[in-house]
Structure 1
Amino acid sequence: MTVMKQSNKLIIYILMLVITLLWGYAWVLMKDALTYMGPFTFSAFRFGTGAVTLLLVVWILRIGFPPRQYWKHLVVIGFLQTTVVFTLVMYALEFVDAGQSSVLLYSMPMWSSLLAVQFLGEKITPAKLTGLIVGIIGLFTIVGWDMWIGQSFEVIFGQLLIIIAAIAWAISNIYYRRHVSGLSQLQVSAMQMFFGSIGITLAALITEWGEPIVFNAASIYYVLFTGVLASALAFTAWFFIISKIDMVTATISTLLVPIFGLTFSSILLGEQMTIGVLTGSALIISGIVIATISKKG
Structure 2
Amino acid sequence: MTFPPDAGRSRQWPAVAAAGITVTLWASAFVSIRSAGEAYSPGALALGRLLAGALVLGAISLVRRVGWPPRAAWPGIACSGVLWFGLYMVVLNWGEREVDAGTAAMVVNIGPLLVALLSARLLGEGLPRPLLAGMAVSFAGAVVVGVSMSGSGDASVRGVLLCVLAAVSYAGGVVSQKPALRHAGALQVTTFGCLVGAVACLPFAGTLVTEAARAPLSATLNMVYLGLFPTALAFTTWAFALARTTASRMGATTYVVPALVVLMSWLALDEVPGPLTLAGGALCLAGVGISRRGSRSARSTVVAARPAAPVALDPPERGREPSI
1:149-160 maps to which residues of 2 (within 5 A)?
A: 151-153=154-156, 156-160=157-161
TM-score normalised by length of structure 2: 0.81
Alpha-carbon distance change, 228 to 209 in structure 1, aligned in 2, over 3 angstroms: closer
Does 1:42 pair with 2:45? yes
Structure showing greater relative contact order (alpha-carbon pairs closer than 8 Å, 6 or more residues apart): 1
| Superposition TM-score, scaled by structure 1 size | 0.88
- 1:254/1:33 Cα in 2 relative to 1: closer, same or farther (>3 Å)? same
Q: 1:124 and 2:119 equivalent?
A: no
Per the alignment, residue 298 of structure 2 pairs with 296
For 2:153 and 2:215, the matched residues in 1 are separated by 37
Q: Is the 8 A contact 1:99 1:261 kept in 2?
A: no
- Please, which moves more after superposition, 162-171 or 272-281? 272-281
Which of 279-288 and 212-221 deviates more? 212-221
Task: Report what 1:226 is aligned to.
Answer: 226
Gaps of 5+ in 1: none
**Which letter maps to 1:6?**
R
**Larger deviation, residues 91-100 vs 283-292:** 91-100
Q: After superposition, where does 1:24-173 map in structure 2 within 5 Å? A: 24-68=27-71, 70-98=73-101, 101-102=104-105, 104-144=107-147, 151-153=154-156, 156-173=157-174
Aligned residue number for residue 192 of structure 1? 193
Q: Measure, in 2, the Cα distance between the counterparts of 1:98 and 1:129.
A: 26
Deviations 1:219-254 (A, max 9, x none): 343123211111011101111111111222211111
Q: Give 1:204 deviation, angstroms.
A: 4.9
Q: Aligned equivalents of 1:152 and 1:127: distance in 2?
A: 34
Letter in 2 for 1:291: S
Match of 1:183, SS state, is: coil
Amino acid at match of 1:110: L
Report the Cα distance in structure 2 between the residues aligned to 1:5 and 1:119, rounded to whole angstroms.
27
Distance 1:227 1:238, change over 3 A: same
Query: How far apart are 1:286 and its partner, in Å?
Result: 1.2
Point out where structure 2 has 5 or more consecutive residues left out of the alignment. 300-324
In structure 2, what is the Cα distance between the partners aligned to 1:216 and 1:195? 28
Counterpart-to-counterpart distance in 1, 2:174 and 2:284: 21
1:27 and 1:99 in contact (8 A); partners too: no
Alpha-carbon contact 2:144-2:280 (below 8 Å) kept: yes
Q: Percent identity over the alignment?
A: 23
Max Rg structure: 2
Q: 1:82-108: CA deviations, max 9, x gaps?
A: 111000011122234456545543332
> 1:142·1:276 contact (CA, 8 Å) conserved in 2?
yes
1:185-264 residue pairs with structure 2 within 5 A? 185-205=186-206, 210-211=210-211, 213-214=213-214, 216-264=216-264
Deviation of 1:81 (Å): 0.7
Aligned AA (2:66) = I
Deviations 1:87-136 (A, max 9, x none): 00111222344565455433321110111111111112111111111111
Q: Does the residue aligned with 2:97 lie in a helix, a strand or coil?
A: coil
Tell me the alpha carbon deviations over residues 64-87 of structure 1, each in whole angstroms, 9 at most, x when there is no partner: 111345434422210001111000
Does residue 265 of the first structure (1) align with residue 265 of the second (2)? yes
Go from structure 1 to structure 2 and tell me whether the alpha carbon gap of 1:88 and 1:236 turns closer, same or farther (over 3 Å shift): same
Change (3 A) 1:55 1:150: closer
Q: Any idea what the Cα deviations from partners look like across 1:182-219, whole Å, max 9, x if unmatched?
A: 211111100010010122231353x6674464455423
What per-residue deviation string (whole Å, max 9, x for no partner) do you get for residues 263-287 of structure 1?
3234444656333322211111111
